[in-house]
Structure 1
Amino acid sequence: MPFSDRVSSAWRWLGLEGALLLAAFLVDLAVVLPAAADSLGPRGRDLLLLPGMIALGACALWARKRPAVAVFAGAATLFASTFLIRVTDAAAYTTLLSNVSLSETVAGLELVFFCVRRVRPAEAVVGTGTLVLGGLFAAVYRNGSGTSGLSQTLLLGLVLLVVTVGAGMQFRRGPGPRKDSAVRDLVREQWPLIGVLSLPLFLELYQVLDSDIRTLPAMLCSVAAAAATVYATRRPLRAGLILAAVIVATAPALWVASRQYLRAMGVLPFTEIAAGIIVVVLLVRHVEPKRAWGTIGLLSGAVAFTTLAGMATGNSRLGIRDLRDLVIAAVLVLGISVACGLYFRARDSERRKVVEAAVSDAQNSERMALARELHDLVAHHVTGIIVQAQAAKVIADQNPKVALEVIERIEVAGTEAMTAMRRLVGSMRAGGDVVTDQATMDLDADLRRLAERAQVPVDAEVRVPKNLPQEVSRSALRLVQESLTNTRKHAAGATRVRLLAEVRDGELHIRVADDGRQVVTRPAGGSGGYGLVGMRERVELLHGRLAAGPAPDGGWVVEAWLPVEEEA
């Protein structure tokens, strides 16, 4: 399997919950790795935090299949990692909850979500309670801080628990059919984009937790920008306008944000930069150029306004002296985003043309198959009806009794033609490959039945196995049927037809030869000239060979070789 296919398969296996865990774990790595290499304490000691993060994340992924077992395994993992951290004096750092890393917090919330969603209520309550106890134990005892900061952890943990349980109840499958909402469908369809946007959001969250409450409005603007980006996959133009408004609203939020947050973020939060890039790509890809460029200009103006407003505060690490470099970087990012959008737009157009061509080819193939089927059925039955009607007209005056018998045979032939047409129509309506005109899975029986009903005596020599592919058997039957029809129409004075059907050297050999002479007058019922064309098309579709022409000693011979091997 190519590397790109393996990456795509692994990404699909992760899903939304895996993408969120991966983003949170990357943020944890960005904190733990520098801490493990600093001069505070033994080098590498902080790496002992990673086994607990990885194990709890694995439990969260396992919860997709076995939530009842995974939630207890997650609680056990929290207890075990807490003992390891306490014994080794590793420095557990704080994110949302005291002494609990971001990836552990996300994994715990996902465990609660899957437990509430898929486990019976009593088991869900016990499992969730056990996991909460594991989280409290970690918050209190990992760094030996006792109850310091416990009230804030309890309040925030309670809020997260209520939100997660509510989401699990919302997604819980009831006994009846569930109606999917637009938001749920959007989340299910766009989970890769949500996973990508969660990384800058988690990075900002880490900075917000190190700052004070004044940074919260800026964080809310970043969340709104991420939501607008996901919405842009459905309505890119409207989402672009919403994102421009969010970016403008970020300016006053940055005015009140702490200096520490501004120093870390620069002039614009990471999430809003990523959101702007993605929305520009979607606008260029899906919206007509005139309207797309208007919205892109509005977004560019909003970014310029917020950037200048951030510089004016004097708290950002970037000042007016950096304006030239910022303009160059913004133009480069905008150009790359537009180029990506144009690439995807061209690829979509090419893919649409390929699909249209494939649909057109499929329709043409269906029409050709339908034409062959109709020609085979109509020519076979109607030609016989016309020949018998002409005979009845000739002998009507001489022997009315025989003429009446011929008319009865004409009635039977007409009924058979109508039955065959109904079967053909039924096959088309069903959409399946139903063998029509009384064809069965036994080619030997079908050919012998066809020889018995032929108006010219047929010497049939049939030696074919019963396990021939259905399409080969059907095409062989149609070839013999068309050959016998041509004998009635074109071979004047034919008294005998020899039919050979046998499998030899991996091929089905069909040979139909008559002893008649070719007529130069117009045959009964006329000739459309499509009989041999249809036979050649059938043989070519099976990668076989066809030969048709006059025999050296008189008469007409049709021979076909149809491969019966699997590779054919």
Structure 2
Amino acid sequence: MPFSDRVTSAWRWLGLEGVLLLAAFLCDLAVVLPASVDSLGPRGRDLLLLPGMVALGACALWARTRPAVAVFAGAATLFASTFLIRATDAAAYTTLLSHVSLSETVAGLELVFFCVRWVRWAESIVGTGTLVLATLLATAYRNGSDSRGLSETMLLGMVLLVAVVLAGLHFRRGQAPRKESAVRDLVREQWPLIGALSLPVFLELYQLLDSNIRALPALTCSLAAAATAVYATRRPLRAGLLLAGIISATSAALWIAPRQYLLGFGALPFTEIVAGIIVVVLLVRSVEPKRAWGAIALMSAAVAFTTLTTVVSGRGRAHMSDLRDLVIAAVLVLGIAVAAGLYFRARDSERRKVVEAAVADAQNSERMALARELHDLVAHHVTGIIVQAQAAKVIADQNPKVALEVIERIEAAGTEAMTAMRRLVGSMRAGGEAVTDQATMDLDADLRRLVESGHHGVPAEADVRVPADLPQEVARSALRLVQESLTNIGKHAAGATRACVLAEVRDGELHIRVADDGRQVVARPAGGSGGYGLVGMRERVELLHGRLAAGPAPDGGWVVEAWLPVEEQD
């Protein structure tokens, strides 16, 4: 397997919870590694904090499949790490909770979340209580001196515990299916970007903990900038204008924040810099150049304004003598972001041309196949009809009885020809599958009929809310996507007990979602698989300038989602 494919596979395996753990662990490394070589205490002693962080993170990842066992293993790990730190006098530093690292805090919250979501009530209460007890022991026993106070830690820990328990109850299995929301769809689709943005957010969180509450407005602006960068994947132009306002508001937030809040010698929070790069890339990639450059100019003006106010007021770590270097760095970063956006724009154009060429080739192949089908099915019957009609004409006067028999055979041949023609037309209209031979092009009726008869032994539910005036090509593609998805459920979803089909029009797009609760199998499915199902679906969606997402669901099963524009695009 190529290295890039291995990285992609590992990234997908991590998921959002794994990426958050990785970001928190990298932030911990940024603190532990310098502390292990400083002049305070023996060299390398602080590295004894790492085994507990890694082990507790592994328990959090294990909780995705075995939450009941993982939560007790996490509590045991926290107990063992606490005794190791106490026995070796390692300096356990403070983050959100006193003497508990950020990665341990994130891992503990994820353990509670999975335990509340998936485990039975009795085991969930005992497991969560054991983990809370281990955390209290760690905060009180790891270091002899506590600069923050146990009461403050208990209050903050209680807030975090209540929040994560409520989140686990919200997603608890057995709950009735909820209506999809735009925010949930965006989080599910853009979780790698959210995980990547969590790293600079965690770094700023460290700065907030090292300073005081006056840095909270600046952190709030950074969180808003990160959310805007994620929103830019849907509406880049609107997100660019919004980010310009957030950067301008940051000048007031930095006026309140302490001077040591900014990282390095920057004049802007690191998260806002990263968010700005992402938004610029998306603007150049997908927005008309005239509008994109207008938004980029407005963002650049906001950056210049905030930088000047920060430098002139002396609130940041940069001085007037550093202004030239800051301008050069800003221009360099902007150039890199624009170059990346142009690269992605060119790649998208090239992929579009490749898809169009492939579609043209496929259409030509379909025309040739149709010509062969017409010759084999229709011409054969018509030729027989003509020959027998000529024979009946010759013998009609000589032997009327034989002519009548020939006419009966002509009638039978005509009936066979009509049946073959209807079968061929039905195959052309419905994509070649028998399950859609009776398609009416009424998407609501067709989808409900398809769900009732085409789930291959897996009970299915349909939630269809579509208007009757959908474009024919959109309705036909949506029907084909659902049909292929249900066929794949029957082939690949081992142990599936339910499939759910959602079709609704929202924000000018037809949203199709097909999900099951089965599990993937490595063995070859019955009847074989051509391996072109997802390729065909993606080509159909891209031809309509839509979006397609297919992959394993966080709580098991497989999900296929498509968004097809119902209005013509320029």
TM-score relative to the length of structure 2: 0.74
Moved more, 140-149 or 127-136: 140-149
- Does the aligned pair in 2 maintain the 1:377–1:417 contact within 8 Å? yes
Q: Which runs of 5+ in 2 are unaligned?
A: 435-570
Shift of 1:265: 6.2
Tell me the equivalent position of 1:44: 44
Structure 2 distance, partners of 1:46, 1:37, is: 9
Structure 2 distance, partners of 1:74, 1:173, is: 22
Structure 2 distance, partners of 1:282, 1:386, is: 64
- Does the aligned pair in 2 maintain the 1:97–1:153 contact within 8 Å? yes
Tell me the equivalent position of 1:566: none
Structure 2 distance, partners of 1:405, 1:357, is: 53
Superposition map of 1:248-287 within 5 A:
248-262=248-262, 264=264, 266-287=266-287
Tell me the equivalent position of 2:323: 323
Shift of 1:431: 4.2
Q: Aligned partner of 1:389: which letter?
A: A
Q: Aligned partner of 1:322: which letter?
A: D
Shift of 1:358: 1.6
Superposition map of 1:331-350 within 5 A:
331-350=331-350
- Does the aligned pair in 1 maintain the 2:225–2:275 contact within 8 Å? yes
Moved more, 293-302 or 361-370: 361-370
- Does the aligned pair in 2 maintain the 1:262–1:315 contact within 8 Å? no
Superposition map of 1:438-453 within 5 A:
none
Structure 2 distance, partners of 1:433, 1:254, is: 63
- Does the aligned pair in 2 maintain the 1:263–1:315 contact within 8 Å? no
Structure 2 distance, partners of 1:338, 1:103, is: 34
Q: 1:261 to 1:412 in 2, by over 3 A?
A: closer
- Does the aligned pair in 2 maintain the 1:82–1:142 contact within 8 Å? yes
- Does the aligned pair in 1 maintain the 2:259–2:317 contact within 8 Å? no
Moved more, 38-47 or 293-302: 38-47
Count of aligned pairs: 434
Superposition map of 1:71-110 within 5 A:
71-110=71-110
Q: 1:238 to 1:148 in 2, by over 3 A?
A: closer
Tell me the equivalent position of 1:355: 355
- Residue 124 of structure 2 aligns to a residue whose secondary structure is helix
Q: 1:363 to 1:71 in 2, by over 3 A?
A: same
Instruction: Report whether the alignment pairs 1:167 with 2:187.
Output: no
Shift of 1:415: 2.3
Shift of 1:305: 0.5
Q: Aligned partner of 1:7: which letter?
A: V
User: Greater Rg, structure 1 or structure 2?
Assistant: 1
Structure 2 distance, partners of 1:195, 1:156, is: 23
Tell me the equivalent position of 1:373: 373
- Does the aligned pair in 1 maintain the 2:226–2:271 contact within 8 Å? yes
Structure 1 distance, partners of 2:107, 2:59, is: 8
Tell me the equivalent position of 2:298: 298
**Cα distance per residue 1:152-200 (max 9 Å; x no partner):** 1011111111221122222223343232222111111111111111111
**Cα distance per residue 1:29-52 (max 9 Å; x no partner):** 111111111121111111100000
Superposition map of 1:490-529 within 5 A:
none
Structure 2 distance, partners of 1:126, 1:147, is: 31
Structure 2 distance, partners of 1:116, 1:106, is: 15
Structure 1 distance, partners of 2:146, 2:208, is: 24
- Does the aligned pair in 2 maintain the 1:71–1:131 contact within 8 Å? yes
Structure 2 distance, partners of 1:133, 1:31, is: 26
- Residue 51 of structure 1 aligns to a residue whose secondary structure is helix
Structure 2 distance, partners of 1:185, 1:170, is: 16
Structure 1 distance, partners of 2:65, 2:230, is: 27
Tell me the equivalent position of 2:121: 121
Shift of 1:395: 1.9
Q: Which runs of 5+ in 1 are unaligned?
A: 435-568
- Does the aligned pair in 2 maintain the 1:140–1:147 contact within 8 Å? no
**Cα distance per residue 1:436-478 (max 9 Å; x no partner):** xxxxxxxxxxxxxxxxxxxxxxxxxxxxxxxxxxxxxxxxxxx
Tell me the equivalent position of 1:212: 212
Shift of 1:360: 2.1
Across the aligned residues of Structure 1 and Structure 2, the Cα RMSD in angstroms comes to 1.7
Shift of 1:148: 6.1
- Does the aligned pair in 2 maintain the 1:207–1:264 contact within 8 Å? no
Shift of 1:264: 4.6
Q: 1:291 to 1:147 in 2, by over 3 A?
A: closer
